[in-house]
Structure 1
């Protein structure tokens, strides 16, 4: 790998992208969306004591969502698009190797995706100045955001080298991203309802109230019913980009032990389904009332296991495997190419 050649390839790719009017239109639309999201977030979190933390988490999550929607278009045709335009072959006959071409296209797509994250920086600064944002939250969230953009850029670049047609590679990149973002919660829901457990519920009621006390029934009623078991398949959510982002951020808690922002709410929701349900439940109206200790969000998080590093590892392995496949499909001389593929 020659750093100078890779830098030249990245610069040429970025210059070509920046000449497109559509690039600036996308940035403008992205900025307008963030303006609206930030304004609405300040209104939505106006009653919260940690308004800044709530607004910051909202802007970061929306930024991740928008970049996931844009990145496949920017990276999904980086190689086969040049092949169709007859601009890939002239690069392949230079001193640049196949690996350098792939890395150069990947870094250019990553930098293009990061441009959208840079647009969000002023809005993140505004949210931070509103107060209540932990510096560690800022550091970790931005780091994970940058990595997630890079993962999607790698997947799109690899698929553009694997598939011959730009339209198919862009569509396939969207399908992979959709599988990670939407497919994982759908899979958890479907599998958890398929793997159900039986709950036995026993209860006894008061049959009569008197001045001296109550008369209780001697018979216990027992009912059985089935409930889904998401705790057996929660790990399917580990590779979800939003779960990786939320789970990696250290939680802040309010005075009652609950998270004050969307990062914590998402993290708490994922951690909650790790807990197995009670399969034997008892309700006795005749028993003296005992004050139950309420489980806080802090208790739930501390009693469960993190999964963000596993999910991030799965994403990196997936992107790396696709890049290796793209290398084999792009290297020259090629033994076989898809029918109708343009070489020069």
Structure 2
């Protein structure tokens, strides 16, 4: 029996234990029902748009990611210490299965369990593709990134369960890590933008009607010899361009940034992935400062605003960096779990139970 076979043996035992009771099937049934409701309402709401399938597809993928990050920590956060607390870990450790194969087998089982939710949502994703508007390249990339993110959450749960002795604490810690990536990055982005805000002084000019002379031009509404009085206006703008990188580790931003973007006939992104990507990429651009106006000009200045395509072309993608951070986090926790679970242990805290 080689190492891969032993690892798969551990994973298959874990999977059989998970599907033995009815609770697992009830959970999948509830998940499918919720996705069905989301699909129904999203289809109705986007029926008259140019690409209803593109919007529906991105919404379903995000919903699978949301539920996956909510359920996977509960299923993987006690994978190792749960066996230790039940006294069954020692039985496995005296076999030919190494500690590395044991931990990785539990990780594979947790990842497959998370992918089951993605598999359950496949009929709805196919319906979105048939509905029209969704692009094949966007579908393929988003599915691959979604599967990788579910694997990262599974790795975090299994890794933390090997590092922390109590199952309850390890599950809570896994949720905290997921919350840090999903919500903490948004909070850091918002607070960082406020801290990095800068003052902007704009000089505007308004007409001094008492000092102006001449008749009123009927075309412009201005006197022939207008006199303008300048005045300064100072305000602050957030410095999001200095902290945009904090969103690179956000799984929802990562998914949107990795998915290829397609545009409608008006130049706007045709799905939720593109809309989120456009909003996040705009944060990379420094705000245009000091644009004043003058009433003495026949026409107010017209400020050109970049289109969504232009914004995406002039900014840099960050999904590869974010995915690298996630992979390093998951691998690091798994390595720590292997070291902590290895028997005989080199050093134990008081009251610890290795098996």
Q: Does residue 222 of structure 1 match 2:227?
A: no
Whether contact under 8 Å (1:199, 1:278) holds in the other structure is no
Give per-residue Cα distances to partners, 1:19-68, cap 9 Å, x unaligned: 13221121111111101110011012122111110111111111111101
Q: Which contiguous aligned blocks of 4+ residues in structure 1 show a shift greater than 6 angstroms? A: none
The alpha-carbon deviation at position 193 of structure 1 amounts to: 0.4
- Per the alignment, residue 277 of structure 2 pairs with 267
Q: Does residue 37 of structure 1 match 2:3?
A: no
Cα distance in 1 for partners of 2:282, 2:248 equals 14
Change beyond 3 A, Cα 1:21–1:97: same
Cα distance in 2 for partners of 1:267, 1:126 equals 24
Cα distance in 2 for partners of 1:217, 1:312 equals 59
Larger radius of gyration: 2
Matches within 5 A, 1:143-222: 143-208=144-209, 210-212=215-217, 214-215=222-223, 216-222=226-232
The alpha-carbon deviation at position 223 of structure 1 amounts to: 1.5
TM-score of the superposition, structure 1-length normalised?
Answer: 0.96
Whether contact under 8 Å (2:208, 2:228) holds in the other structure is no
RMSD: 1.5
Cα distance in 2 for partners of 1:286, 1:88 equals 82
The alpha-carbon deviation at position 214 of structure 1 amounts to: 1.6
User: Structure 2 stretches of 5 or more lacking a match?
Assistant: none
Change beyond 3 A, Cα 1:163–1:229: same
Q: Does residue 78 of structure 1 match 2:79?
A: yes
- Per the alignment, residue 337 of structure 1 pairs with 348
The alpha-carbon deviation at position 224 of structure 1 amounts to: 1.4
- Per the alignment, residue 315 of structure 1 pairs with 326
Whether contact under 8 Å (1:204, 1:217) holds in the other structure is no
TM-score of the superposition, structure 2-length normalised?
Answer: 0.93
Cα distance in 2 for partners of 1:205, 1:251 equals 44
More deviation, 14-23/173-182 = 14-23
Give per-residue Cα distances to partners, 1:292-344, cap 9 Å, x unaligned: 44421111111111000000001111111111111111001012334444445
Matches within 5 A, 1:230-249: 230-249=240-259
The alpha-carbon deviation at position 285 of structure 1 amounts to: 2.1
User: Structure 1 stretches of 5 or more lacking a match?
Assistant: none
Cα distance in 1 for partners of 2:122, 2:113 equals 15
Cα distance in 1 for partners of 2:245, 2:177 equals 18
SS in 2 for 1:255: coil
Whether contact under 8 Å (1:247, 1:307) holds in the other structure is yes
SS in 2 for 1:283: coil
